[in-house]
Amino acid sequence: MLVLPYNAAHEMEWDAFVEKAKNGHFMFKRRYMEYHKHRFQDASLLFFKNQKLMAILPAHLEEGCLSSHKGLTFGGILCDAAMTFSLMREVFDALKHFLKEQKVCTIFYKAIPSCYHQIPACEDVAVLTQLGSEMVERDLISVINLSAPPVEYYRGVKWSIKKAHTHRLQVRECQEWEGFMGIMKDLLQEKYGLQPAHSPAEMIKLATLFPENILLYGVYQNEKLLGGAVLYISGQVVHAQYLGMTPEGKKLRALPFLLDSIFNKFRGTKHFFSFGSSQDGTYINESLYYFKESMGARAMLQEQYLLSFN
């Protein structure tokens, strides 16, 4: 198997493979990955067998370790329906051989959660296990199955939605990126002392590059923005990249109303809604996780592995 480092000449071939991959996501397209290329030393790879592209690996180098991917929600080997366990083993054998020649002997691997698999795609995790990799983290993510009968909301959520209707709140897709990211900045700073991972300019750029995949839904009262949700839409999954409310929005119970509206919009066209993780290492933010459960979400796992070799 031939392993080639990614370069700009591969862009069209890379993006076409992301489109057909059984575990693809628009985040792996080069225009998305390269918006923050100044922060990461790209080391993405392409795997060919008999001159046919069999797999790709979005990755970067960090202190002698190949990581896939610390600049994205997850990473891992992308493959199509032709991938089998034995072929994945060949991919990893070729990867290890290639990295040894580069004097790299550690791989950090953030596996793609199964809700993003168009068809089963766990060959990578099976091979990592066989190779003796260490699972260094297992994060709890909250997911709603939009194609199954809805899990009943908790009583408080039902009350909040009913209350929001009396305040004549409205939910709609919008372009108020500056205003919403300002809400997120204030919220994250006050609650956690953090900044959003994206600046308003970055979100505007990404939404312009991926207008069908990155959407902003706002909740309004009398045309005043009370909060919103940045949605990443890929294949069968709607993921809440950002969720935030102003103090007034919280008071008016706008968040459950917003989420209920989003679920109803995508139910029947998408299979899953992902809230993402409520976990940092071994710490689980139980109040945040409880809120997601109250909206009907249940547990799925996202695993991270470390593979070392000589």
- If you average pLDDT over every residue of the chain, what do you get? 95
Number of structural domains in the chain: 2
Q: How many residues does the chain have?
A: 310
Pair 152, 276 in one domain: yes
CA 13 to chain centre: 22
Q: Does the pLDDT value for residue 278 go beyond 90?
A: no
**Do residues 295 and 240 share a domain?**
yes
**pLDDT over 80 at 36, yes or no:** no
Question: pLDDT by residue (tens digit) across 57-73?
Answer: 999 999 889 999 888 98
Position 159 in a domain: yes
The residue whose two tokens read 């939605």 is 161
Instruction: For residues 87 and 166, state if they share a domain.
Output: no
Which one has a higher pLDDT value, 257 or 190?
257
- The range of the structural domain enclosing residue 150 comes to 144-301
User: The dihedral of CA 177, 183, 185, 191: what is its sign?
Assistant: negative
Count of Cβ atoms closer than 10 Å to residue 92 Cβ:
23
Residue 87's SS3 state is: helix
Same domain? 116 vs 243? no
Residue ending a domain, choose from 132, 157, 176: 132
Q: What is the pLDDT of residue 226?
A: 98
The enclosing H or E element of 269 equals none
Asked if 152 and 51 sit in the same domain, the reply is no
Convert the pLDDT of each residue in 90-145 to its tens digit.
999 999 999 999 999 999 999 999 999 999 999 999 999 999 999 999 999 999 99
Measured distance CA(232)–CA(241) in Å, rounded = 6
Indicate whether 118 and 151 sit together in one domain. Answer: no
**271 and 177 share one domain:** yes
In which element (H, E) is residue 178 found? helix 177-192
Does residue 124 belong to any structural domain of this protein? yes
Domain identity same for 163 and 278: yes
Q: What is the mean pLDDT of residues 23-28?
A: 97
Residue 171 pLDDT greater than 80, yes or no? yes
